[in-house]
Amino acid sequence: MPQGKPAGVRCVQLDAGNRCRIFGSPERPLVCSSLAAEPQMCGSDSEHAMSFLHSLEIATEPLV
């Protein structure tokens, strides 16, 4: 997504299993590469992880 990904919008690089198609590639955005998953972020299931990521997106969304 050349102009960035708006909060709440699914990344176009995620496959059906929610795996990054460009993981390890130089095209992968720095923000993705620098995100280090931790137990607090991941929780016990993917629903928790997605909710946590959504809250990060909202908290870091630029003010217009």
Closest of 28, 31, 39, 21 to residue 56, by C-alpha = 31
What are 2-33's pLDDT values in tens digits? Answer: 777 877 788 899 999 989 999 999 999 888 88
Instruction: Give pTM, 2 decimals.
Output: 0.68
Structural domain contains residue 63? no
Closest of 51, 31, 33, 34 to residue 42, by C-alpha = 51
Band of residue 63 on the pLDDT scale cut at 50, 70, 90: confident
Band of residue 57 on the pLDDT scale cut at 50, 70, 90: confident
What are 40-53's pLDDT values in tens digits? Answer: 988 999 899 889 98
Structural domain contains residue 34? yes
Structural domain contains residue 27? yes
- Count how many domains the chain has: 1
